[in-house]
Structures are given as C-alpha cells and as structure tokens.
Structure 1
Amino acid sequence: METITIVLILLFAVVVSGVLSRLLPIPVPRPLVQIALGAMIGLVANWRVTLDPEIFFLLFLPPLLFLDGWRIPREELFKDGKTILELALGLVIFTVVGMGLFIHWMVPAMPMPVAFALAAVISPTDPIAVSAIAQRVPIPKRMMHILEGESLLNDASGLVCLRFAIAAALTGTFSVQEAALNFLWVAFGGIAIGAGLTWLVGRTKSWLSRRLGEDSGSQILISLLIPFGAYLAAEHLHCSGILAAVAAGLTMGFVEGGGQALAATRIRRNTVWDIIQFAANGIIFVLLGEQLPMILAGAAETVRLTGHHESGWLVIYVLAINLALAALRFAWVWLSFRLTLFRREERRTTPNWRIVAAMSFAGVRGAITLAGVLTLPLTMTDGAAFPGRELAIFLAMGVIIVSLIVASVGLPWLLNGLEMPAEPSYQAEEDMARIEAAQAAIARIEHVQHDLAEGRGDADLYVSAGWRVMEGYRQRIENRQGNIEHNATGRRSERIERDLRLAAVKAERTAIFKMVRERRVGSEVARKLIRELDLLEARYAG
C-alpha cells in the first residue's frame, strides 16, 4: 500500500508542477519546478524512495528512448549524421578522458577509476530537459534534431565507458583492446537486437491483422511492450539495452511507415504515449529532487573525503566541474561544426559563436546521469566500501541542477533570434505530395461512386454527392499548382479557410456543451459529437 501511495504522490507532484510552471511570474523550466517539489516532498515526508538503478533503468529509460527514436525525423538524423556521431561518440570519449583527469587532479582523494566513472555519467546530455527549458523560446529545428540525435547515442556510449571504469576500479586492470572489442559487441549487438525484434513483431502483427482484423487496444499494448522486450533481451545477452531501445524506436518508424494501422489506433496510441512521456519525464525529476535532502544531509561527511572541513568546497567543485564541462563541449562543438556542419554549406563560414554557445548550454544533464551514478557499487570485491561513492553522487547531482539552472537562464537569451545555417525548403515536396494524394482521392471517389450508383434509380444523388466531395480535392490541387505567386495565394487561401473552419468547429463544440448543460442533448450523443469535432480540430490545427 505504501508503494502505491508513493507512486500516486509522485504523479500528483508532476501534475502540480505543470500548473506551477505556468503560474509563476517568471518563466521557470518545468524540470526545475519538479526538482523543487521533489525536494519539498523529501523534507516533509517520513518516507524515502530507494532508487534501485536496475529498476530505474528498466521502468523509465526504454520507453522514453524508444519514443524519441520513433518520433525523431529520420531524414534529419541521417542528414546531420556525421555531426551527431562526432558529438555522441567523439565528444563523450573526449569528455570522459578530459573530465576524468580534471576531477582526479582537483580531488586527489577520489581514485582515478572513480573519477573516470563520474566523468562517464556526466557526459550524456538530456534533450528532454532542454525542450522544457526552451519551450518559450523555441529551439531552431535543425539544432533540436542534432541534440535529439546526439542524446539517442551518447547515453549508450557514456554508460559503456562507465561500465569499463567500474570494472577498472574493482579489478585494478584495464585493457584498451578488450574494451574496444567489448564496445563493438555492446553497441552493434544492442542495435541488432532492437531492430530485429521490432521488425519481427511488426511483421507478425501485420500478418495477424490482415487475417483476424485489428484490435486497437492490443496494438497499443504491443507498442508499449516492444521497448521493454528489446531492452531485456539485449541486457540478457550483455549488450546495450539502451541502444536496443533506441534502435527499436527507429525501426518502429520504418515499420509503421506502411500505414497498415487503423486511424483510430494511431490516434489512441499517440495519446497514450504522450501521457507516458509526460508522466515518466516528470517522475524522474521529482525523484531527483526527493533524493536531494538525503544527499545534502551527508554533505558534512562527504566533504571530509576531499580532505576539507567546510561544505562550501563541494559547491566550488560542482561549479568547477560545470565550467570544465562547458569548456570541453564548447571546444568540441566549435571544431565539429567547423569541420562538418558549416563545411557542407555553399559558403564555408566560421561557426557563429552564439550557435556554438547555445549548443554548449544545451548540454544539460538529467535522468541518465542520475541513474548512472547510482549504479556505482556499494563495496569492492574484498568487501571494503567503494571509494568516493557518496562524493561522486553528490557531484553528479550538483552538475544536473547547476546545468539546468544555467541553461534556463542562458538558452533563452542565446536562442532569441538565432538562426542555424539555411535549410532547404520542403514546400515543393509538400505541394507534390498533397497534389498526388488529392488526385488519388478523386480517382477513388469516382470508382466508388460508380460502383455504388450502378443499378440504382437514384444515381443522380451519388453523382452530386461525389461532385461535392471531389470539389474540395480539386480546389486543393488548384491551390498547389501553377507559378510561385499563385501557389502562395492558394496557400494563404487555405490558411484563411483553415482559420474559419477552426472557428466554426469551436463554435459547434461550445453549442453542444451548452445543450448538454441545458439537458437538451444526452451525454452519449454529446460524447460522439465532441469526439468528431476534436478530430476535426486536430486535423485543421495540424
């Protein structure tokens, strides 16, 4: 019963955080509000959530990474693939080596392997936190795609480095050759398992749906189980469960590209996944805040591990680590953009310092850092306490919070009016797709209209109904064809029509609610009509 109560309290805190973030007079990112609420819960409640890293990883990371991989635009991911790989792999290794040496130099009491383990857990970034921070100042699409692609891969590379650092701390030995071979198995094995499992499930699901029909509830449940299945299968074979979940999400995008699922299934599934994403992200940051009082309570003991007696040194260490992380990221991003992203542009230019600085500020740490640092073992192989564990946890928590605060202040200023290198316009591609889709719709309407009217005495009704339906498609084709000026006028006409339709839909819905309140319409009829109007509004608003 206590566990259920804790879960309900955490979910309620997530709901409250959404309200508070909108009520506050100054824009405060939702993750910071959630951390503050979690800290308040940790101070006033007489219970503590004991975070088991394995359970934490299994419950939260597979579905969130799967969803990120599923929804990320694959074309954008591949277009900037070289830049993403440089950030996700090169930057992680650069950060682990640089920060490991820096932390050991700054805190000699922390053994070298533990310093490298801490550097490994603070290397992955959290794009979810960045999205929440920048929701009032939108991040340029191309930058967000790069950040999302980086985070999908650097989680795995950072945690693989963590695994090697822990092994070195426990055994006292480290082999570069063995580590490289292990990395290849962990990475490529995880990708193969995630992609293979998703493809197999997709083919089986399609085969069953064609023969037995589609059940929306089962389809949604299958999509929820896939990331967990991929993660567990990969971990069982000692591969990267995180990369398996990412690969499963990317493969799911290809599998679902065939469009076999029913429209109702897609609508309901998107709603379910939106709720899961909102709840899981929120609970992660609330839990982070809930752990704060317990970690701060041991600050006095933790600071003694560094050879000092004043807790202020811990703050100095946290700030120094954040500054070093920002400097390393700034240098690597500038070099990466200089060699790849800006080199591909028609005019080879030097990266704008604001773009590089924004990418550096966007290196916010979050869930992976929290979960990773908690995987540090409690004891060594001989039973002795793992050296510097509490200090590493404190420093990791400090990095998460400071990076969130700095990003919430610096990103909106840097992103205001910032533009990435020019991207090609996809308007011609969109026009072509809309025209061909409309032509296919007209051809199908004519065919169905002929079949339905054949042998009937009221054929004129079918002709007139078909004409009315096809007229909308013909108007769409006319608006999208012709010269550029005509296309612009047509698209403006469509936008005006869309605004008018949205206003009409909202008026219809208001009238129906009024009739319900006046008891002139029953709830079942009203529910059906409201759902139809909601779908129409979603169509027009999209």
Structure 2
Amino acid sequence: MDSIEIVLSMLLAVVASGYLVRALPLSLPLPLVQIALGAIIAGISSHGVRLEPEFFFLLFLPPLLFLDGWRIPKDGLFRDKAIIIELALALVLFTVVGMGLLIHWLIPSMPLPVAFALAAIISPTDPVAVSSIAARAPIPARMMHILEGESLLNDATGLVCFRFAVAAALTGSFSLASASVTFLWLAAAGMVTGALVTFAISSAQRWLARHVGEESGSSILVNLLTPFGAYLVAEELHASGILAAVAAGITMSYVEIGGRALAATRLQRAAVWDTMQFSLNGIMFVLLGEQLPSILRDAADTVEQSGHVNPWWLAAYALVLTGGLVLLRLVWVWASLRMTMYLAGRRGETVIKPPRRLVLAMSVAGVRGAITLAGVSTLPLLLPDGTPFPARDLAIFLAASVILLSLILASVALPRLLRGMDFPEESAETREEDLARRDAALAAVAAVERAQLGLTHQAEEADLYANAASRVIALYQRRLDRAGEAGGAQQMRQADEAEKALRVAGLLAERQAIFNLARLGRISDQTSRKLVREIDLQEARYR
C-alpha cells in the first residue's frame, strides 16, 4: 500500500508541477520544479523509493525514446547526420577520456577505472532534459534537431564505455579490440532489431485490419507496446535496447507515412502518447528529486572517500566537473565547426559563420538527466574479493550534482545567450509547406468532382450536389489562385491566419451555445457531447 501511495504522490507532483511552473514568478524549467517536488515527497514520506536501474531502463526509456525517434524531423536528422554522429560518438569518447583523466587528477583516491566509469555515465546528454529546457528557450529549429539527434544516439556510446570501465574496475584489465567489437554489435544489432520489430508488428496489424477490421483501442495498445518489444528483443540478443527503441520510433514514422491508420485512431493515439510522454517525463525527474535526500545523507561518508574532511570540497568537485563538461563540449563544437567550414570552403560552397553566442549556447545545451543517475546506480556494491566497490557513493553524488548543475546552467544561460537573436524561418520548410498545400488542393478538387458523380443518383438531385460541390471546390480554388499569384503564397498564409482567427471565434460561440442548451435541458448530454467533440476537433485543427 505504501508503494501505491508513493506512485500516486509522484503523479500528483507531476500534475502540480505543470501549474507551478506557470504560477512561479521566476522562469524555471519544468524539470527543476519536478526535482524539487520529488525532494519534498522524500522529506515527508517514511518509505523511500529504491531505484532499480534495470526496471527504470525498461519502464521509462523505451516509450520516451521511441516517441522522440518517431517525431524527430527525419530530413533534419539525415541532413545533419555527420554532425550528429560526431556529437553522439566522437564527442562522447573525447569527453570520457578528458573527464576521466580530470576526475582522477582531481580525486586521486578514486581509481582510474572508476573515474572513467563516472566520466562515461555523465558524458551522454539526456533527450528528456534537452526537450524540457528547449521548451523554455528560443532554440533555432536546426540546432534543436541536432541536439535531439545527439541525445537519442549518444546513450549507447556512453553506456558501452561505462560498462567496460566497470569491467576494468572489477577485473583490472581492459581490451580495446573487445570493446570496439562489442560496441559495433550493440549499435548495429540494436538498430536493425528495432526496425525489424516495428516492421513486423505493423505488417501484422495491416493484415489483421484488412481481414477482420481495425479496432482503435487495440491498435493504440499495440503501438504502445511496440517500443517495449523492440527493447526486450534487443536485450535478449545482447544488443542495445536503447538504440532499438530509437530505431523502432524512426521506423514507425515511415510506417505512418503509409496513411493506413484510421483518422480517429491517429487522433486518439496522439492524445494517449502526449499523456504518456508528460507523465513519464515528469515521474523521471520527480524520482530523481526523491533520490537526492538519500544521496545527500551519504555525503558525510563521501567526503572521507574523497580524501578530505571539509564537505565543501564536494561542491567544488561538482562545479569543476560541470565546468569541465561544458569546456570540453565547447572545444569540440568549435573545432568541429571550424573543420566543417574549412571543408565547405574547399568545395567552393558559401560559408556562413554562426554567431559566437550560438556556439556557446550549443555548449551549455548538453543537459544531463535521469538516465545518468540510473546508469551510475548500477555500479556494483562489492568487488570480486568481497571488498566494497571504491568510491561508489562519491561517484553517485557527483553524477547527481552534475545533473542538477547542468539543468540550472542551461535554464539560466540559454535564454540569455539566445535572447534578441533573429532566427528566420527556413526557406526550405516554407517551400515544402507551399508545395504540399498546392498539391493537396489539386487532389481535393479532383476527389470532390469524382465524389459528386458518385453521389448523384437521380436527375432532381443533380443541382443539389452540383451546388454543394461548387462551394467546396471554390474553397480550394481560392487557395490555388493565391498560390499562383506573385507573392501569393505569403498572402495565402496571411489569409489563412485571418480565417483561423475568425473560425476559432465562431467555434467558441458555437460551443458556448451548445453548453447553454444542455444546462437548460433543451438537449441531452449525449447530443451535447457529440456536437462539442466535433467543435473541439475543428478548434484543435485551427489552433
């Protein structure tokens, strides 16, 4: 019963955080508010939550990574694939080596393999934290796509490095060849497994829908279970379940383009996924906050492990590690940018040098999150000879401190670095939208004309259907006429915005009138719900 109460408390904390972040005078990122609420829960609860890393990875990561892979813009992901791979693979390795040496130099009492294990687990950025911070800062679209792609793929690199560093601490040996082969298997097998699982499940769903029909509830439930299936199958093959979940989401975006799902299914599925994303994201950070008091209680022993007596040394270590991560990331981003510009210049391409503030923003945007805490919690308690694992509590404390400091730094620095910068709308996206609207209008006109012929059964009905078809075709024809004029696309967008505002005003009045009729008992609640749902769907479209 205590476990149920804690879970309900965390869910209530997630709900409260959504209101608090809007009510507080300071512009705090949602994760920090949720961490604070988790710490409050730990303070008033007599039963703490024991973080089981394996359970955490299975319950939270597959659906969140699947959804991020599904919704991330694929054109941006593949356009900037070279940059993303540099950040997700090379930057992580660079950070592991640099931070491992720094940690061992800073804390000589921490063995070198443990220092590298800590460096590995704090190297990857967290996709949930990055998305949460981005919601409060005006990050340009392309930079956000790069950050999302990096955070989706760098977990595997960091966790593989962490696994081998822990193995070296336990056995006293390390093989670079074995580590390289293992990494290649984890990455390749994980990506292939995720794609195959999603493709197989989608094919089975299409076959069932074609032969026995489609039930929205069943289809949505299968969609929710897909990332767990990809993760578990990959783990059984000793591949990366994290990359399998990401690959499953990316594959799902291509399956979705097939357009075979019913419109009602897509609407309901989007609502279910949005609710799950908000809930799991929030619980992750509330759980992180709930773990903080117990981590701080172990700080006294942690100080002795560091070779010092004054507890302020712990704060100094945390600040140095966070600063080291930002500095290494800044060096890598700057060097990578210079190399990219040099190669582009050699190819004769036009090179536009980004502002320095954007480079600094890219450096502080590497936010760490709950994945780091769950990973560092998997450090073993004992060595093979039965002695305690060296500096385990110290590593956990420093990892948790880096998470908090990176969140605070990003939430404070990003809005200030990006304030006042003009990020014009990408012309390619505008052209794609104009092209899609024009082709969609042409297809709609042709479909209405065909449907008119199919609906006309009797001569007296011909004028009725002809008038109805003319009204519908006129709406699309006006869109085509504006698109064909000089500057027509811009005028069309302005006209669409004006039309949206007027339609929303009318829908609000419609809904209020229906509610008034229901309150007066002039229509049933069933009729009211049906009409209000239709209005809600139209309003969601225009908003």
TM-score interval w.r.t. the shorter chain?
over 0.9
**Alpha-carbon deviation of 1:535?**
0.8
What residue number does 1:125 align with?
125
Match for 1:72: what amino acid? Answer: I
1:404 to 407, 410, 413: 407
Tell whether the 8 Å contact from 1:142 to 1:420 is kept in structure 2 after alignment. Answer: no
The 5-angstrom pairing of residues 308-347 of structure 1 reads 308-340=308-340, 344=344, 346-347=349-350
Match for 2:105: what amino acid? Answer: W
1:426 to 422, 426, 429: 429
What residue number does 1:487 align with?
489
**Alpha-carbon deviation of 1:203?**
1.4
Tell whether the 8 Å contact from 1:318 to 1:399 is kept in structure 2 after alignment. Answer: yes
> Given the superposition, is the C-alpha separation of residues 342 and 456 from structure 1 closer, same or farther in structure 2, using an over 3 Å criterion?
farther
What residue number does 2:367 align with?
364
What residue number does 1:17 align with?
17
Tell whether the 8 Å contact from 1:29 to 1:408 is kept in structure 2 after alignment. Answer: yes
Match for 1:497: what amino acid? Answer: E
**Alpha-carbon deviation of 1:303?**
0.5
Q: Per-residue displacement from partner, 1:28-63 (whole Å, max 9, x unpaired)?
A: 111111111111111111010001100000000010
Tell whether the 8 Å contact from 1:111 to 1:387 is kept in structure 2 after alignment. Answer: yes
What residue number does 2:177 align with?
177
Tell whether the 8 Å contact from 2:131 to 2:148 is kept in structure 1 after alignment. Answer: no
What residue number does 1:507 align with?
509
Q: What is the CA–CA distance in structure 1 between the aligned matches of 2:344 and 2:427, rounded to whole Å?
A: 13
Tell whether the 8 Å contact from 1:42 to 1:293 is kept in structure 2 after alignment. Answer: yes
Q: What is the CA–CA distance in structure 1 between the aligned matches of 2:418 and 2:206, rounded to whole Å?
A: 44
Q: What is the CA–CA distance in structure 1 between the aligned matches of 2:317 and 2:184, rounded to whole Å?
A: 34
**Alpha-carbon deviation of 1:522?**
1.9
Tell whether the 8 Å contact from 1:124 to 1:158 is kept in structure 2 after alignment. Answer: yes
Q: What is the CA–CA distance in structure 2 between the aligned matches of 1:283 and 1:341, rounded to whole Å?
A: 42
Matched, 1:375 2:381: no
1:386 to 382, 385, 389: 389
Match for 2:489: what amino acid? Answer: N
Q: What is the CA–CA distance in structure 2 between the aligned matches of 1:142 and 1:538, rounded to whole Å?
A: 26
Matched, 1:450 2:474: no
Q: What is the CA–CA distance in structure 1 between the aligned matches of 2:34 and 2:513, rounded to whole Å?
A: 38
Question: Identity of paired residues, percent?
Answer: 58
Gap regions ≥5 residues in structure 2: none
Gap regions ≥5 residues in structure 1: none
Aligned residues: 540
Tell whether the 8 Å contact from 2:29 to 2:136 is kept in structure 1 after alignment. Answer: no
**Alpha-carbon deviation of 1:290?**
0.6
**Alpha-carbon deviation of 1:349?**
4.5
Q: What is the CA–CA distance in structure 2 between the aligned matches of 1:150 and 1:134, rounded to whole Å?
A: 14
Q: What is the CA–CA distance in structure 2 between the aligned matches of 1:389 and 1:517, rounded to whole Å?
A: 63
Q: What is the CA–CA distance in structure 1 between the aligned matches of 2:388 and 2:199, rounded to whole Å?
A: 45
**Alpha-carbon deviation of 1:420?**
6.3
Q: What is the CA–CA distance in structure 2 between the aligned matches of 1:246 and 1:537, rounded to whole Å?
A: 32
Q: What is the CA–CA distance in structure 1 between the aligned matches of 2:462 and 2:354, rounded to whole Å?
A: 66
Q: What is the CA–CA distance in structure 2 between the aligned matches of 1:420 and 1:303, rounded to whole Å?
A: 47
Q: What is the CA–CA distance in structure 2 between the aligned matches of 1:107 and 1:289, rounded to whole Å?
A: 26
Q: Per-residue displacement from partner, 1:267-322 (whole Å, max 9, x unpaired)?
A: 11011000111010100111111111111111111100011111111000000001
What residue number does 1:289 align with?
289
What residue number does 1:4 align with?
4
Matched, 1:197 2:200: no
What residue number does 1:115 align with?
115
The 5-angstrom pairing of residues 65-76 of structure 1 reads 65-76=65-76
What residue number does 2:228 align with?
228
Tell whether the 8 Å contact from 1:365 to 1:400 is kept in structure 2 after alignment. Answer: yes
Deviates more, 1:366-375 or 1:47-56: 366-375
What residue number does 1:157 align with?
157
Q: What is the CA–CA distance in structure 1 between the aligned matches of 2:70 and 2:341, rounded to whole Å?
A: 24
